[in-house]
Amino acid sequence: MSLPLFDKPFSPHGGTKVLSGNLGRAVMKTSAVPVENQIIEAPAVVFESQHDVLPAF
């Protein structure tokens, strides 16, 4: 296996993406996540304490 040439990358947008939000930052390997799963819309749940989280699941 060899590295791709600079002018012919595997992906035009790179292989990693930095995600950031109010909880922190993370690095995601974009090729490991299918395109249909790269955007998630879900309801948010707010807990008053850490002890309320476990019963919710």
Q: Please write the tens of the pLDDT for every residue from 4-57.
A: 677 777 667 667 889 898 889 999 888 888 888 888 898 989 999 999 999 988
**According to the model, what pLDDT value does residue 37 have?**
85
CB under 8 Å to 24, separation ≥6 — which residues? none
Pair of tokens at residue 54: 């476990």
Cβ(28)–Cβ(34) below 8 Å? no
CB under 8 Å to 8, separation ≥6 — which residues? none
**According to the model, what pLDDT value does residue 24 have?**
92
Backbone angles phi, psi at 29, to 5 degrees: -85, 105
**According to the model, what pLDDT value does residue 4 have?**
67
**According to the model, what pLDDT value does residue 52 have?**
94
**According to the model, what pLDDT value does residue 53 have?**
92
**According to the model, what pLDDT value does residue 25 have?**
94
